[in-house]
Amino acid sequence: MRHISLAIILCAIASVAMAQSFTVYEKDKDRAYNVEDVDSIVFSTEPAAPAIAEPRTIKGRWCSLGTSISWLNENTASYPLTKGYQTRVMEKLAFTNFSNKAVNGGVLSSAISQVALADYYTIEHGINDWGHSTPVGTIDDYINNTKNGTFAAIYRQLIDRIFSRNKKARVILCTPRKAYGFNGYLPDHWYDPKEGIYLEEYANIIRQIAAYESFPVADFFAECGGQRQLDSWSYDTALHPNDDGMQIMANVLIQAFEKILTEE
């Protein structure tokens, strides 16, 4: 027998006992029940639990390029992490196909050979280039395709590679998540320089490239934790996100995806 729990105002309950069926009027709909199918009626002032929303189906392939922060998505079993930010995005936006081409320990140049055929691309880089002191370069290095080894020039090579695979590609650029420490790999604070270079310089050039190309930005640098939160949002000090940190990244990336998703 079914047990019904509804948050409604009790009225005319005596008439239910005499009827063969009764109708419950809810906020946005009404529903009829046969008396013989009902075991009991429980009235509650507590709100009903919300239904779990099904993910939105996206007809397209997503290729994720990035560092170990992205690579972790398929390698959580070896780390204190249940799932990466990409899996969390897929719980809301179910792409037809997903390929994670991130390189553990990789710098931006390592992503060029990893570009798979896809419809959507996300690029999460900058933190390891900071760790390796890659020169940042300028927007002119990107625009003029100088191939001079700067972060900006390498970004041009990567974007060219993406569009050589799919001229209709939709691309999201991700600024690097703030980080520090990690056994001396990075400075003691995210805002300290490493070899005279600030992490924010990589974030700024990524934003400039995105503006030049009209790409949306998932601004992990601005929105995914500062010095106060990084330790509690990382499983190490303080580079790789824990579950809380991954969820925040997923939330930011979903907002960026919404700007370029197309109905197909």
Burial of 250 (0-12, 13-18, 19+ CB in 10 A): buried
The region of weakest confidence among 10-14, 144-148, 185-189, 209-213 is 10-14
Q: What is the three-state SS of 159-204?
A: HHHHHHHCCCCEEEEECCCCCCCCCCCCCCCCCCCECCECHHHHHH
Report the length, in residues, of the chain. Answer: 264
Question: Which tokens belong to 255?
Answer: 């907002």
Phi, psi for 3 (deg, rounded to 5)? -115, 125
Query: pLDDT, tens digit, for every residue of 81-122?
Result: 999 999 999 999 999 999 999 999 999 999 999 999 999 999
Q: What is the pLDDT, as a whole number, of residue 200?
A: 98
Q: What is the pLDDT, as a whole number, of residue 14?
A: 44
Q: What is the pLDDT, as a whole number, of residue 30?
A: 61
Please check whether the domain covering 56-257 is classified as CATH 3.40.190.10.
no
Question: Which tokens belong to 169?
Answer: 């590609």
Contact of 224 with 245, CB cutoff 8 Å: yes
Question: Which tokens belong to 25?
Answer: 């009027």
pTM for this structure? 0.81
**Dihedral over Cα of 209, 211, 214, 219: its sign:** positive
Domain ranges in the chain are: 2-43, 56-257
Strands (E) in the chain, as ranges, are 2-6, 21-25, 30-34, 38-43, 56-66, 93-100, 120-124, 170-174, 217-218
Judge whether residue 17 has pLDDT over 90: no
Query: pLDDT, tens digit, for every residue of 40-88?
Result: 665 555 555 555 678 999 999 999 999 999 999 999 999 999 999 999 9
CA gap 47, 44 in Å, rounded: 8
Q: What is the pLDDT, as a whole number, of residue 16?
A: 45
